Amino acid sequence: MTCFKHLCLFLLLFFFAGASFSKSINSNPGRQYIGLNDQWSFSKDEQIREDVNLPHTWNAKDVMDDAPGYYRGTGWYKRTLKTSPAMKGKMLFLCFDGVNQEAEVYVNGQLAGKHAGGYTRFIIPVTKFLKFNSDFKNEVMVKVSNRYQEDIAPLTADFTFFGGIYRKVGLLITDPVHFYNGDHGADGIYISTPQVSAESAQVALKYVLENAAGQSRKVRLNTALYNKEGRQVVRRSIVVTLKGGEKKTILMDLPKVDKPELWSPDSPVLYRVVSSILDAGGSNTLDELTHSIGFRWFKFDAEKGFFLNGAPLKLMGASRHQDYEGLGNAVPDALQIRDVELLKEMGGNFLRVAHYPQDPVILETCDRLGILASVEIPIVNGITESLAFSENCRNMQVEMIRQNYNHPSVVMWAYMNEVLLRPKFGNDKPRQELYFKHVFELAQSLEELTRKEDNSRYTMMALHGDFDRYHKVGLTKIPMVIGWNLYQGWYGGSLADFGRFLDKHHRELPDKPLLITEFGADADPRIRSFKPIRFDKSVEYAIKFSQVYLNEMLSRPFVSGGMVWNLADFNSETREETMPHINNKGLLTLGRQPKDTYYLYQAYLLKQPFIKIASKNWTARTGIADSSKSFSTQPVQVATNLKSLELFLNGKSLGIKESTDRICTWDVPFSAGKHQLKAVAAQHPELSDLADIEFTLMPYLFTEKTFSTLNVLLGSERYFIDEKNHVLWTPDQPYRKGAWGYIGGTAFRGGNNRMTYGSDKNITGTDSDPVYQTQQVGIAAYKMDVPDGFYELSLYFSELQGGAEKEALAYNLDDAQQKEISDQRVFNLNVNGHEFLKDFNISEEYGYTRAAQKLIRIQVANGKGIVLDFNPIKGKPVLNALSLRKLN
């Protein structure tokens, strides 16, 4: 009869909440969690409302358009919450897993609670605001703002501050006697393993119990530990008396666990701790919670690196941002879990949860898969020198630690990222010194707070590569571990500087363990180059960059590990470059498709034999035929952790190659048409990898039989795959008789030292920015010795020089930025002697950095081909790209 009553109560609660049930049914009648993620409406102005489900962000689309900026303001969410008489006498709470970044929660028109900070859970008690009598409908409204607020971190960052209720929301129902959930969003249970060895382990628990009723209650607190097979290992039970309205802290040690199964990346064994509050007689469960724990011990050594369970372990993995293609940061659980699975499949054993605490499912998955982790609060680039800012940061740190305290995967808490990247008051040195003092004081305060909250884990700050500045300010002395975010050979310096920096740290801070918390080069998967150079955004340069960094880190025992930046591409609305609004340093695309670099990391990190054709996703290729040959020879890279491989093209062997830095390279002769590549290893016949290639062969010399289209990027050394328009773009060449090419001029170079050629500006009016980001400046002519016939010629222009000055982005530390001069550029263009463009002024007609296209149809006769003559009137003529298509 009792079980039947409990079932009826649960069904009543479920029905009246008017929501889908989001978690497994709990046999504990004292606690229920009901998801409230449907039946919401949303409005920015309280006039026009739209129906939405959670998670939700209002910035999923506007962060990707050409208009600078995105909506940072207020949004209102509204929902009806149905109650029932069965809920009377219970305690009800609204639980928010994440709202960015300021929230006010109203129930039936009354303010129930507030929260500041966009990345941690908060729980609002709502019992006293709800109606339980004749009218069961309650209105819940949530005011959300992602405005700039100088007292809430982050202030600025190379990622987007999406607004909205972007994580799950639920209704929590408990008995008046329950595990206290008013402690910074935590659940009132804190589990530690103060002593662990292969022989035995100790489990210590800190409970916070609350009796919200008016009368005193005597209850029984039970704790049981279960192994992975579900067998009870140890248990303990005590009687607790709670006064009316009392919150009581209980410390409990479980009996010793003999020969525990240890948690590690190779064997992530989890035990279950089941904590129960029962009435004094033990017949009714008032509250119950289950947590997973793992037995492990670890340490960082400044000379020898990281050790887990007494054995050395190189921590290799990635950092992660939480947004996803088309969704912003409102990402369902399944996709977030998949991110951690992809890290594991890469061979990674560490996740830097950056730059903020993420959805609870992330660390839950790390626990389950054996991924070690660090978590940090979002103090990025700088601070505000105010008491409110400091208090908000301290509160975020406490929320982060207490909410994630029980995860065996977490080995470090962190609290600042590149905080001196572009320090304030550069023109006022005394004032800047005061600012540095305040940064130091906040760091010291957070360090002390963190060690007080949790003395079982390490602390860390992530610093950018200005070693001397951080050391002088004193920040290198504060945390237990230093994380360095290093980009030598990308934003500045050379690849060789990376290893020298590691040795400098070891020499000058010999007692301070270090991690490389960021490193990486942008890899736009649409851009390829056989002459890769820094900042060309090619996948090939990212491969080269990664090889150097991985080799340097893996060869130095004192480097505890490295986290590539980033696991996946992520949104950064202020970025421009080849794929505007996207940071392309991910090993995966924003939609989580692997790049060549992901396969390279698998070759470095996986223990089992591995073969993968690195460029297998480059399925549509183009190239110019070799001299008078009927094929074009192009390099193909295969990633492997084996000594040698053999490559076959359409069943014919291209020979065996030794691997260098986990890559084997062949020069492959591609003829026009379809091809299949197959990579095999003689020592592992069961292993192979295939890639299907469609190759478009461009003629070395024009003939009527071989020519159909020509798509050329001027001033460029890179290929561009425009999948949206199904166009393959190739680098240009100087004019060669019988072929095509430019005459005169030089490749455009932007106003910074990062770019060897081209511009990194956002080209508005197109999604094919790389078509317009390079150009030939001062071009005199362009010749195409095509056969007679009818042709359609498209010419692509964009004025790359000048325009409105934009504030330098914080991560671009190139101090050699040059002020651009907006010279007048006016020219005439004749096609085969006929005037096509007269007094053409790109900036006057189209503005700056906007895509422009001019089209003309031409009849070629008498073997004269096509000749474009550029005649300057003011400044130097330019051409960015051209496309020629034969019509008959």
Residues 6+ apart with CB under 8 A from 387: none
Evaluate the omega torsion of the peptide bond into residue 110 and state whether it is cis, within 30 degrees of 0: no
C-alpha torsion 762→767→773→775, nearest 10:
-140
CA distances 359 to 98, 365, 405, 614, Å, are 8, 11, 14, 32
Whole-angstrom distance, CA of residue 378 vs CA of residue 396: 9
Q: What is the CA radius of gyration of the chain?
A: 31
Whole-angstrom distance, CA of residue 481 vs CA of residue 374: 11
Helix or strand (DSSP H, E) at 539 = helix 539-554
Q: Are strands 559-564 and 315-320 parallel, antiparallel or unpaired?
A: parallel
Is 341 one of the annotated active-site residues of the chain? no
Farthest CA pair distance, the chain = 106
Report the DSSP beta bridge partners of residue 458: 412
- In DSSP notation, 327-375 reads TBT---HHHHHHHHHHHHHTT--EEEE-SS---HHHHHHHHHHT-EEEE
Report the DSSP beta bridge partners of residue 276: 222, 288
Encode 41-75: b = buried (16+ Cβ within 10 Å), e = exposed: ebbeeeeeeeebebbbbbbbeebbeeeeebbbebb
Encode 807-843: b = buried (16+ Cβ within 10 Å), e = exposed: eeebbbbeeeeeebeeeebbbbbbbbeeebbeebbbb
Handedness of CA 760, 762, 764, 767 (dihedral sign): positive
Handedness of CA 663, 668, 672, 674 (dihedral sign): negative
Whole-angstrom distance, CA of residue 211 vs CA of residue 178: 7
CA distances 637 to 347, 612, 615, Å, are 20, 9, 7
The 3-state DSSP class for residue 700 equals coil
The 3-state DSSP class for residue 616 equals coil
Handedness of CA 181, 183, 185, 188 (dihedral sign): negative
Q: What is the token pair recorded at 290?
A: 């289950």
> Which is nearest to 771 in space by CA: 829, 725, 726, 712?
712
Whole-angstrom distance, CA of residue 418 vs CA of residue 809: 14
Q: What is the token pair recorded at 492?
A: 């500045």
Whole-angstrom distance, CA of residue 876 vs CA of residue 213: 83
CA distances 810 to 155, 163, 377, 419, 484, Å, are 12, 22, 19, 11, 17
Give yes or no for a contact between 578 and 569, defined as CB atoms under 8 angstroms apart. Answer: no
Phi, psi of 299 (to 5 degrees): -160, 155
Q: What is the token pair recorded at 377?
A: 């609060």
> Which is nearest to 589 in space by CA: 875, 325, 863, 867?
325
Task: State the catalytic residue, choosing from 418, 518, 577, 717.
Answer: 418
Whole-angstrom distance, CA of residue 84 vs CA of residue 88: 7
The amino acid at residue 243 is K
> Which is nearest to 713 in space by CA: 535, 536, 533?
536
E strands in 733-811: 740-743, 746-747, 776-777, 781-784, 789-797
- Cite the active site residues: 418
